[in-house]
Amino acid sequence: MRINLISDTVTKPTPQMLKAMFDAKVGDDVFKKDESVNHLEQKVAEMFGKEAALFFPSGTMANQTAIKLHTNPGDQVICDKDAHIYNYEGGGVSFNSGVSCKLVDGHRGMFTAEQAKAAINPPDFYHSPLTALIALENTANRGGGACWDFSEIEKIHKVAKDHELGFHLDGARLWNALVEKGETPEQYGALFDTISVCFSKGLGCPVGSVLVGNEETIHKALRIRKILGGGMRQAGYLAAAASYALDHQMKRLAEDHQKAKEIGKTLAELAIIKKVEPIDTNIIIFYLQDDIDEKAFLEKLEALGIDLIGMGSGKLRIVTHLDYTAEMHQEFLKIIQKIM
Ligand SMILES: *Cc1c(COP(=O)(O)O)cnc(C)c1O
What does the pLDDT average to over 131-160?
98
Q: Which pTM value belongs to this model? A: 0.97
Ligand 1 neighbour 60 (Cβ under 6 A): yes
* Residue 309 pLDDT > 90: no
> Mean per-residue pLDDT for 128-137?
98
Q: How would you classify the pairing of strands 315-319 and 309-310?
A: antiparallel
State the closest ligand 1 atom to the C-alpha of 61, by its place in the atom list counted from 1: 8
- pLDDT band of 265, cuts 50, 70, 90: very high
Averaged pLDDT for residues 143-147: 97
End-to-end CA distance of the chain: 20
**pLDDT, tens only, 49-74:** 999 999 999 999 999 999 999 999 99
Segment 149-204, tens digit of pLDDT: 999 999 999 999 999 999 999 999 999 999 999 999 999 999 999 999 999 999 99
Using CA atoms, how far apart are residues 340 and 326, in angstroms rounded to an integer? 21
Counting residues of the chain whose pLDDT is more than 90, the rounded percentage is 94
Residue 44's closest CA among 198, 205, 168, 180?
Answer: 198
Distance 6 CA to ligand 1 centre (A): 14
* Å from CA of 149 to ligand 1 middle: 21
326 alpha-carbon distance from chain centroid: 24
pLDDT band of residue 314 (cuts 50, 70, 90) is confident
